[in-house]
Structure 1
Amino acid sequence: MESVIEQLSEYELERGKPVPDTIHGIVQTNIAGELFIRYRSVYRIMSEVTLDTQPVGTTPDVLVYPTFEPDFQNRSARRSDPPLLTIEIQSPSQSLEVMVEKTAIYFHFGVKSCWVVLPSIKAVIVYTAPDTYRFFHDKDLLTDENAGIELPVDLLFA
């Protein structure tokens, strides 16, 4: 029997997750955009910033921190302080189990809320604790009490 060797891209090796596709990119931009438009006065919205989680670090698709003034002169490769919120967007090759495991890593790091975004069914699971979550879809108003954020779900998948 012939074995198949899967070549991981530099992106996958560096970030520990699949290369995003078009849908992933659209949804990520929609989420970051909606958060920026509605919450930029109180939160700093970022994408693809590596966190110093154990054992090897993780790179959420979108991160939300309380607002701060960026220091453009001193740039660190990883952040050691937990964001308020991490958002992970499921890729076709990622199982829901893998996505849920990431939330455990983020909560252990000190994150207050984790969203798992499921583009294939246009839904978002909002975790406010490791085993506490709410499911939002269609025309629901996504409500994250820990982060103080509300967003219409349909705009995230427009």
Structure 2
Amino acid sequence: MVKARFMTPQAVEIIETEIPLEETMSLNHSRLIGRLTVLLARYEDQYDILPELEFELSAGRLKPDVALLPKQEVNWEKDIVRFPFPPVTAIEILSPTQSLDSLIIKIRDGYFPSGTQSAWLVLPAVKTVYLFLPQQAPSIVSSGVLHDPVSGVEVHLEALFR
């Protein structure tokens, strides 16, 4: 006689993987990275304009949407995955999946202690840019020209948000 053996049900853990929310890029976020890169191209003799470059800094790993670095000599044979020196200017664009507070903390507690000299926080929904300088309240620019006194860079907001 054959006896049927029933298996005892066991819990199965299902693990879903997805990109963390802060790394998810929206259409407008991507559009603004592209526009900033184009608008800043006139400064290429002075700066390397680098979108999405990761930095290994004293405050940890940081990845601005766009970074301005002093012009570097290009070595195509030796690449750098995490750049060890801070950008002159870090530009962050608020995406729908980020909080404003988290980006302000990233600027104040990440970029500035590591040596970044200015930071921009772009708010697409209200077509506004906050210009942060260490130890100062941010300047708010919603029309006209954003002038960064540290880098000397100027961006017409009408062109950015066209």
Asked if residue 8 in structure 1 is aligned to residue 12 in structure 2, the reply is: no
Asked if residue 108 in structure 1 is aligned to residue 113 in structure 2, the reply is: yes
The match for 1:84 is: 88
Aligned residues: 147
Q: Give CA-to-partner distance per residue, 1:3-25, whole Å, 9 cap, x none.
A: xx98531xx3xxx7231111111
Q: Give CA-to-partner distance per residue, 1:84-126, whole Å, 9 cap, x none.
A: 0000100012111111011020001100100000001011001
Other structure's SS at 2:138 match? strand
Structure 1 unaligned residues grouped into runs of 5+: none
CA RMSD, 1 decimal: 1.8
Indicate if the aligned counterparts of 1:124 and 1:137 stay in contact, CA closer than 8 A. Answer: yes
Indicate if the aligned counterparts of 1:107 and 1:130 stay in contact, CA closer than 8 A. Answer: no
Deviation at 1:83, TM superposition (A): 0.9
Asked if residue 42 in structure 1 is aligned to residue 52 in structure 2, the reply is: no
The match for 1:134 is: 139
Indicate if the aligned counterparts of 2:118 and 2:150 stay in contact, CA closer than 8 A. Answer: yes
Other structure's SS at 1:100 match? helix
Asked if residue 120 in structure 1 is aligned to residue 130 in structure 2, the reply is: no
Indicate if the aligned counterparts of 1:103 and 1:130 stay in contact, CA closer than 8 A. Answer: no
Change (3 A) 1:55 1:149: closer
Indicate if the aligned counterparts of 1:90 and 1:117 stay in contact, CA closer than 8 A. Answer: yes
Q: State the structure with more CA Rg.
A: 2
CA distance in 2, matches of 1:130, 1:117: 19
CA distance in 2, matches of 1:121, 1:155: 15
Bigger CA drift: 55-64 or 110-119?
55-64
CA distance in 1, matches of 2:28, 2:135: 27
CA distance in 2, matches of 1:135, 1:155: 17
CA distance in 2, matches of 1:120, 1:21: 12
Deviation at 1:156, TM superposition (A): 1.1
Other structure's SS at 1:94 match? coil
TM-score by length of 2: 0.84
CA distance in 2, matches of 1:44, 1:130: 26
Other structure's SS at 1:108 match? helix
Decide which of 60, 65, 85 is 2:64's aligned counterpart. 60
Indicate if the aligned counterparts of 2:94 and 2:123 stay in contact, CA closer than 8 A. Answer: yes
CA distance in 2, matches of 1:62, 1:126: 14
Q: Give CA-to-partner distance per residue, 1:42-83, whole Å, 9 cap, x none.
A: 111011110113564111100001112211111121011111
